[in-house]
Structure 1
Amino acid sequence: MRCRFFRFRAVLLIAAVPLLGQTGAKNGEWPAYGADLGNTHYSPLDQIDASNFSKLEVAWRFKTDNFGPRPETNLEATPLMVKGVVYTTAGTRRAAVAIDAATGEVLWMHSEDEGSRGANAPRQLSGRGLAYWTDGREERILYVTPGYRLIALNARNGRPIPGFGKAGVVDLKLDDDQEIDLETGEVGLHATPVVAGDTVIVGAAHRASGSPKVKHNVTGYVRGFDVRTGKRNWIFHTIPRIGEFGHDTWEKDSAENTGNAGVWGQISVDQDLGLAYLPVELPTGDIYGGHRPGNGLFGESIVAVDLKTGQRRWHYQLVHHGIWDFDIPCAPMLIDINLNGRVVKAVAQPTKQGVLYTFNRLTGQPIWPIEERPVPKGDVPGEWYSPTQPIPTKPPPYGRAAIPSIDDLIDFTPELRAEALKIVSKYQIGPIFTPIVVSKPEGPFGTILTTGVTNWPGGSYDPETHMLYVHASTGMISNGLVPGDPSKTEFAWVSGNAAPTGTAPPLRVEGLPLVKPPYASIVAIDMNKGEIRWSIPNAETPDNVRNHPALKGLNIARTGRQSNTIGILVTKTLMIAGEPGTFTLPDGRQGAMLRAYDKKTGQERGAVFMPAGQTGTPMTYQRNGRQYIVLAIGGQNFPGELIAFRLPES
């Protein structure tokens, strides 16, 4: 492997980083992926407000075209800003880059050429960012490469730390309590490592697939390392081993015959309580689990572990025996709420299901009752079905995870409605946890479910008003099961369809979404009461909807635009989010808007043009007395870049 290092200018960094809590970024900086270790995405800065947001100008742009052998169009990083330096990952090789926060000038860059190991990695491209650590004297940047190696760099100059691992590198495929092929092992990570105190925590992710080749895939264990030396301090087995708590939830010794159960979303930490909160995905087999009967802990569970030892303190399983690819895709949000006059330390978990689970983050007890409700049993031979699933009573669902009835179908015109009814007649529809079916030539071809109401960007939280903001997407896909080909897979059933033509009809009506708008929303939830305060469509109506001949002459309200990449920034006075993709503006330009909203009402207060859609969650900081907003943008034929806004100097 070749190590690449470029130093453009020396940077002197002295003061210690502010203590990270659950109250947002402090001192005008942004020292962690989610602003703080509780992932609130909140900053108290207020120079940019409703009166001037639309006056924002581009301060600088950082292009990633040349940070790899080919351009990347889906830059998902949320950068950090500490002591006047912006840190980010960039490009198809996932370089670590330091940028002057005021000018956008590149200060240093570190890149790893991992050869075939990087090229074969299941989680490639630039990832979602990196982590910062300091003890007041030393300062380090830590990130995970596509080939699953933990790198520690000197934050001042980008050079690898000699005393960390081997020459600044810890090979994460080693010392993992399992054998992992160094070249082809199916494990990686897009999320950032998390640094709390002197511990750096690293999760694991796998190649997404409804048709895996083997049952016993690599298991996504979570580890804590010494941030100074790279020595492994602890490991948490997300699939319990014999004798460990939870092993008995795997029937027929199936824990030894599966894998995955990684943590590919962001991890959160409460340093005061000494707890790290792990959002665990489901075990191997996104939509079929006949080889792993039982509820299967800790699949699709929030697990609180001791920050120093990795020992489980509490857990709560959000999906029993997952077969819907729901996972837990994003950071548990550490929030303090007011319940009947007393402050409660809570953790709130947005989900692909479009429901919010909320717990006491010390004990794991639900803040509001979570009911085990009966769910229908499917017809797939050999599958194991849980008779119930846990459903929160509060807050109410904030998004659509399925098509409960035909009332949800498009109804702009009678003709479009009739076509939608014809399409869904060949599929199974129903409420959340409707089972996936065996695909049949005569129908149903599959079960219609969501692509994920909330995905990896997660939510944001205002610690002053106790309002939680979350993006909700309404994208539908069909999942059906067909017999697995023994020459290609060990699975009895894999994702597919038995439509006579070999291809099931698309879930679109003359190119329009199958369901009613909004296609994406931003939802505000009052966490003191567990009630939805307001919901608004996110993004302008797409051109193909506005200009559709079947809708000519109709007054279509803003529909929003389906996307899984929209994260939200909350400041002292505003809630800020961009649009995915582009649309045609009244002046003929193609672009997207970064919009600011009133936090109490959802009313739009300002907007600024972007040449491409949002692909990473916005962040903000203050430098030399001026507030900046920075976010990643990109799209088809538009290589990813960071764009920074600030107010005019006058």
Structure 2
Amino acid sequence: MSCARTVVPRLLALLLFVIGAAIALGGALLVTLGGSSYYLLGGIAVVVAAILLWCGHRLAGWLYAAFLAVTLGWALWEAGIDGWALAPRLIGPALLGLAFALPPVRRSIGRSGWAPAAAGLLMIVTLAGVGISDSPDRFAAPPPGQALPGGDDAAGAEWLAWGGTNAGQRFSTLDQITPANVSDLEVAWTYRTGVRQPGTKSPLQTTPLMVDGTLYLCTQTNIVIALDPETGKERWRFDPKVDPTGASAVTTCRGVAFHRVPDAADCPARIITATFDARLIALDAKTGRPCASFGNGGFVDLKTGMGVVEKGFYYVSSAPTIVRGQIVLGGWVSDNQSTDEPSGVIRAYDVASGRFSWAWDMGRPGDNREPAPGQHYTRSTPNSWAPMSADEVLGLVYVPTGGSTPDHWGGARSAAAERYGSSVVALDATTGTPRWSFQTVHHDLWDYDVGSQPTLVEVPLRGRMVPALAQPTKRGELFLLDRRTGVPVAAVEERPAPQRPPVSGDWTAPTQPYSVGMPSFAGERLRERDMWGITPFDQLWCRIRFRELRYQGPATAPATDESLIYPSIGGGMNWGGVSVDPERGLMIVNAIYYGTIAQLVPRAETDRLRAKASVAHMYDLPQPQAGTPYGIRLSGLVSPLNVPCNEPPFGTISAIDLRTQKLVWTRSIGSARDSGPMGLASRLPLRMGMPMFGGSLATRSGLVFIGATQERAFRAFDIRNGRELWRASLPAGGQANPMTYVSPASGRQFVLIAAGGHVMLQSPLGDSIVAYALPKKR
């Protein structure tokens, strides 16, 4: 056997040798971790084929063709006919196979060069037949059009509360924009808030209200703005001059509240908002001036009774809820800082006077008063940062709670915190007394705060209609409860939870609740074969990384080794919540799929790392969890190219029939157009389902509007079958909930969304409010 002397075969041989050797080495490591032997054996085969090609031996072509044939069979066995799952397994090897058809290569090894080329072509044809741009969707026949009660509580020409109404259905009875004409939507106006703080990580996530012919919104710096709903022209602006410094790098104001006080000395219509520096404010809806009759010149200090509140450790991120004349609010408390953080107390203030009404401090059961001077609410109790909902008839406010701080070690939690953490709690709106609670996670060690607004619906149960509450969770479980009692309407089952290695001073709950009567959006239990990559290299890297982690399925608890939390600490379903079309009996759910790597770091090591690091590198360090034996290190399960390691889709949108609690349709949402390796935009309009934050809006005409995805896009879907009907490009990601209204000036229906982007989605921040409408009739 004499070695070939031509350049092209040797260059191809050298490339194959390097690739094969790298794959074989990685494959050897994967095998030692108990993983697939394909990469080791395949890498060796490629190395041998490279040596044969270098020497001009005709067996080079046959060996590489055999490798491609085995690869095709292996890929179909592992991935089925999912185009995105097949792509990294097939594209790279196939292109190298096609290179064997180059004339210099064929002259070197003879006709055997056609074999790998033919095999490579077969792989490309197979992938093209499957379709790389289509993730697997599921569609069922549209359900019969039997309406459910509850449509009377929908939003109409106005948008009166963050979720449309206090029921949080995000449903509008407007029907000017229909599936037939939605493709004609165009930008009616764009408003720029002007808030673009250099170096900020804070996104614009507001959902405006539209009341009495004016739009009201807030920025991430708590500026409140009133706009003309027809033109987007600013009417007034109030800047509370908040101090943005503190523990949190992200400040958020997702909305404001509106209330009429007809007999008030001033401000008969008022906007209620709360700030990052813990002030509750009432503004005149017409002028934007503080209401003198409210609190102290329009302001109430929310730090009263809270004890020590370090800057940025406590603020109100969601719009206040107003029920039975009471402003009810909780607050965001900084994650993973300490066992001594501000209380998660829920408080109510009179909407007319601003006077304190009641407090629910779970550490002081039966005592709804403000603490006496020198005392404070119970520290570090579970808080509620998500939007609340309320039932005026029942006189209940529904509070979604998080866990006690810190989030990933629970050895010091009280009995009350264990009972009410990561739950939905129904409080009496006039006294703050708990009426019932339902826990979605026992002894939460995952930061699975209940971040979504409880959504009030009416559902049939054994021949009668039941007032119910749907509670989405970051676990991906969707609980359906009787909102009068908290008893599940759809079956809930306690299942054994995996137990972690011993952790000093803490324990793991023996079971966790699963909503077996409703579809789950937690995703399937991950396997090594579910790891993904843009190329075989990063896919192999992800498979190795997965094998290195402790993963026992859902509810794998953090310990001192590296473990995988899936769904991630971001969800599942996050603060965007769900929308409901009561007239069609459909609930719209959007969910995200990616993992979080968690590791408890011993106290001494945590303190040593944090003490020597600069501020610029604090993000890469363990979070302190001061007062516990451990810090916590958190990171995403992503490849070196900064792409999620699990297979697409990373985001889906689905519809559930509330009459049967069955899935009607589901589809991936979002394309790779604005994302790619290392955060670079690929510009490829290939639908793969993207990570997202934000929720949806449903309308009587049968449309679902949603931004949310990492892609800078705003979309409309047919609610009956999930077909995409319209897409518009946004100036930044639409990580906010959309809303709709009728402008009194023209009688036209507008659909509006904040395009603020989000740093966690690698979506550049923006400051735009964009309104769409059908063209004016000429």
Q: TM-score, normalised to structure 2's length?
A: 0.71
Aligned pair 1:382/2:513, yes or no?
Answer: no
Distance 1:557 1:296, change over 3 A: same
Q: Which secondary structure state, in structure 1, belongs to the residue aligned with residue 255 of structure 2?
A: coil
Percent identity over paired residues: 31
Q: Distance in 1 between matches of 2:599 and 2:507?
A: 16
Residue number in structure 1 paired with 2:345: 221
Looking at structure 1, the residues matched to 686 and 196 of structure 2 have their Cα atoms a distance apart, in angstroms, of 41
Alignment of 1:285 onto 2:414:
no
Q: Secondary structure at the match of 1:425?
A: helix
Amino acid aligned to 1:468: M
1:285 shift after superposition: 1.6
Which ranges in structure 1 are unaligned for 5 or more consecutive residues? 1-20, 246-255, 498-503, 583-591
The letter of the residue matching 1:230 is G
- Give the superposition deviation at 1:314: 0.8
Structure 1 residue 336: deviation in Å?
0.9
| Counterpart Cα distance in 1 of 2:178 and 2:520 | 31
Q: Helix, strand or coil for the counterpart of 1:438?
A: coil
In the alignment, which residue of structure 2 is the partner of 1:516? 647
Are positions 1:602 and 2:722 aligned together? yes
In the alignment, which of 412, 428, 432 is matched to residue 310 of structure 1? 432
Q: Match of 2:330?
A: 203
Distance 1:22 1:404 in 2: 40
Residues 1:22 and 1:299: Cα distance change in structure 2 (over 3 Å): farther
- For these two proteins, the number of residue pairs brought into alignment is 586
The whole-number CA distance in structure 1 between the counterparts of 2:637 and 2:488 is: 40
1:392 matched residue in structure 2:
515
**Aligned-pair CA distance for 1:506:** 5.6
In 1, are the aligned partners of 2:271 and 2:284 still within 8 Å (CA)?
Answer: yes
Q: Distance in 1 between matches of 2:642 and 2:318?
A: 34
Which letter does structure 2 place at the counterpart of 1:523? Answer: S
Contact 2:331 2:384 in 1 (8 A): yes
Q: Give the drift of 1:517.
A: 1.0
- Higher percent of residues as helix: 2
SS of match in other structure, 2:544? helix
Q: 2:706 aligns with which of 564, 577, 581?
A: 577
Q: Which amino acid aligns with 2:288?
A: G
Match of 1:265 in 2: 386
Taking the TM superposition and a 5 Å limit, the aligned residue runs for 1:548-567 are: 558-563=687-692, 565-567=693-695
Q: Which amino acid aligns with 2:425?
A: V
Q: What CA deviation, in whole Å up to 9, does each residue of 1:66-94 have, x standing for no partner?
A: 5878888621000000121000002x531
1:147 matches 2:281: no
Distance 1:607 1:534 in 2: 19
C-alpha distance 505-23 of structure 1, shift in aligned 2 (>3 A): closer
Partner of 1:525 in structure 2? 656
Q: Secondary structure at the match of 1:296?
A: helix
- Deviations 1:118-176 (CA, angstroms, capped at 9, x unpaired): 423748545101000014561010000110100001111111111111000010111x3
Aligned to 2:64: none
Deviation string 1:287-343 (CA, Å, 9 cap, x unpaired) is: 111222767121111110111111111111111111010010011111111234321
Of residues 95, 117, 134 in structure 1, which corresponds to 2:223? Answer: 95
CA contact (8 A) 2:254 2:319 kept: yes
Shift of 1:23: 4.3
1:595-618: CA deviations, max 9, x gaps? 111111101122223222212110
Q: 1:589 aligns to what?
A: none
Distance 2:688 2:380 in 1: 40
Q: Which runs of 5+ in 2 are unaligned?
A: 1-149, 369-376, 608-623, 758-762
Tell me whether 1:336 sits opposite 2:458 in the alignment: yes
Partner of 1:172: 302
Query: What is aligned with 1:250?
Result: none
Stretch moving more, 380-389 or 272-281: 380-389
Shift of 1:403: 4.6
For the residues of structure 1 that align with 2:665 and 2:280, how far apart are their CA atoms?
A: 41
Give the one of 449, 455, 464 matched to 2:583: 464
Of the three residues 619, 625, 631, the one matched with 1:494 is 631
Residue 36, structure 1, aligned to residue 147, structure 2:
no
Q: 2: distance between equivalents of 1:28 and 1:446?
A: 46
Contact 2:216 2:227 survives alignment (8 Å): yes
The alpha carbon displacement at 1:634 in A equals 2.6
1 CA distance for matches of 2:643 and 2:251?
31
Distance 2:636 2:198 in 1: 37
CA contact (8 A) 1:462 1:468 kept: yes
Q: Which residue of 2 aligns with 1:75?
A: 204
Q: In 1, are the aligned partners of 2:207 and 2:255 still within 8 Å (CA)? A: yes
Deviations 1:318-372 (A, max 9, x none): 1111101001001111111123432110000001011101100011110022112
One-letter identity of the residue aligned with 2:157: G
TM-score (norm 1): 0.84
SS in 2 for 1:639: coil
Spell out, residue by residue over 1:546-595, the C-alpha distance to the aligned partner (whole angstroms, 9 max, x if none): 9999x9xxx996211112x221010012011125344xxxxxxxxx3321
The code of the aligned residue for 2:233 comes to E
Matches within 5 A, 1:5-24: 23-24=152-153
- Asked whether the equivalents of residues 55 and 608 of structure 1 are also in contact (C-alpha less than 8 Å), the reply is no
Partner of 1:188: 315
Query: Which of structures 1 and 2 has the bigger CA Rg?
Result: 2
In 2, Cα distance between the equivalents of 1:505 and 1:432?
Answer: 16
Amino acid at match of 1:217: E
- Give CA-to-partner distance per residue, 1:416-459, whole Å, 9 cap, x none: 554332121111123211121212xxxx4665651311111111
User: Which residue matches 2:89?
Assistant: none
Q: Tell me, in whole angstroms, the C-alpha distance in 1 between the residues paired with 2:748 and 2:184.
A: 14
For residue 423 of structure 1, give the secondary structure of its aligned residue in structure 2: helix
**Code of the aligned partner of 2:713:** M
CA distance in 2, matches of 1:544, 1:218: 38
Amino acid at match of 2:628: F
Asked whether the 8 Å contact 2:442–2:512 carries over to 1, the reply is yes
5 Å-filtered alignment, 1:407-556, equals: 407-410=529-532, 417-439=539-561, 444=562, 449-450=567-568, 451-485=570-604, 489-496=626-633, 507-508=638-639, 510-542=641-673
- How far has the Cα of 1:647 moved from its partner? 0.8
1:141 maps to amino acid: I
Please say if residues 71 and 639 of structure 1, whose CA atoms lie closer than 8 Å, have aligned partners that are also in contact: no
Give CA deviations for 1:254-304 in whole Å, capped at 9, x if unaligned.
xx9961411100010000111000001101121111222767121111110
CA RMSD of aligned residues (A): 2.9
The residue number in structure 1 matching 2:235 is 107
Contact 1:372/1:388, CA 8 A, preserved across alignment: yes
From the two aligned structures, give the one with the greater strand fraction.
Answer: 1
* Corresponding residue number in structure 2 for 1:616: 736
Q: 1:339 to 1:600 in 2, by over 3 A?
A: farther
The answer (yes or no) to whether the contact 1:595–1:607 under 8 Å persists in 2 is yes
Equivalents in 2 of 1:423, 1:513: separation in Å?
A: 12
The 1:449/1:50 distance shift into structure 2, 3 A limit, reads closer
Q: How far apart are residue 474 of structure 1 and its match?
A: 1.0
- Displacement of 1:411 in angstroms is 7.6
2-side partners of 1:167 and 1:257: how far apart?
29
In the alignment, the residues of structure 1 paired with residue 484 and residue 769 of structure 2 have an alpha-carbon distance, to the nearest angstrom, of 37
